[in-house]
Amino acid sequence: MVEAAKGTYHHKRSPDDYFDGSRRYVEKQTGVMVVNVHAGDCFVTDDANEVAATVLGSCISACIRDPIAKVGGMNHFLLPQSGDSQADSARFGAFAMEQLINEIFKRGGMRDRLEAKLFGGGNVIKSSALIGDKNANFAIEYLKREGIKLAGKDVGDVWPRKVRYCPVSGKAMIRKLQRDDDYRNVAREEEGYRRTIIRPLVAGNDVDLF
């Protein structure tokens, strides 16, 4: 029986909705606990045996940690880009960033020690809006505004990315997914997710979706 991961995990979906059937599993080759972080999710841990993993298209994952407290985590968000309302988009992005940072604080992290890495923001959704670029620019500006050091980034381009991040060590591994099937699958998943988050905004409902 797999032992439950120790990290704090916030998610919107049932694990049964995930394409691999589980949001966490023990990797046989390494023995580490891999935690899948999907759109709208946030995961934070202080356990060196836990690794956050995700697949990104236009979405962004901010990977933030306190290297002294040895605690950190990953979020995964997509700005809704509903109509011309930048305020609505910023609300989603700001919530994702604040949720991650606040969970790190709960485990002993301090703002002046935080460092971040950003991944994703590929323009995989066919749109002149360049959603990926806007997501990446939002995250970069947010970190700058909050005074959080940007230790590294791999954003932009047109390809989806598979990302692994060790919150305790800060090490990250990125692989770009350039097969046609991978590209189509990620684009389809993100477009479906984007439609679910913009629908209440277009309808004029003041709904907090997180």
- pLDDT bin (cut points 50, 70, 90) of residue 196 is low
pLDDT for the residue 78: 85
pLDDT at 184: 67
End-to-end CA distance of the chain: 31
1.10.10.10, 3.40.50.40, 3.30.1330.200, 3.40.630.10: CATH of 8-176+192-202: 3.30.1330.200
Closest CA to 51 of 59, 63, 66, 41: 63
Q: Which two tokens stand for residue 35?
A: 């935690």
- For residue 175, what is the enclosing H or E element? strand 172-176
Give the mean model confidence (pLDDT) for residues 148-164: 93
Average pLDDT estimate for 120-124: 88
CA-based radius of gyration for the chain:
16
pLDDT band at 142 (very low <50, low <70, confident <90, very high): very high
Q: How confident is the model at residue 30 (pLDDT cuts 50, 70, 90)?
A: confident
Catalytic residue, from 42, 59, 63, 166: name it. Answer: 59
Give me the pLDDT at residue 168, please: 96
Global pTM reads 0.78
Q: In this predicted model, what pLDDT tens digit does every residue of 47-86 receive, in sequence order?
A: 999 999 999 988 999 999 999 999 999 999 988 654 445 5
More confident residue, 88 or 77: 77
Residue 4 has what DSSP assignment?
A: P
CB 124 within 8 A of CB 132: yes
- Kindly tell me if the per-residue pLDDT of 201 is higher than 50: no
Burial of 73 by CB count in 10 Å (0-12 exposed, 13-18 middle, 19+ buried)?
A: buried
pLDDT for 44 equals: 96
Q: In the annotation, is 59 catalytic? A: yes
pLDDT at 63: 98
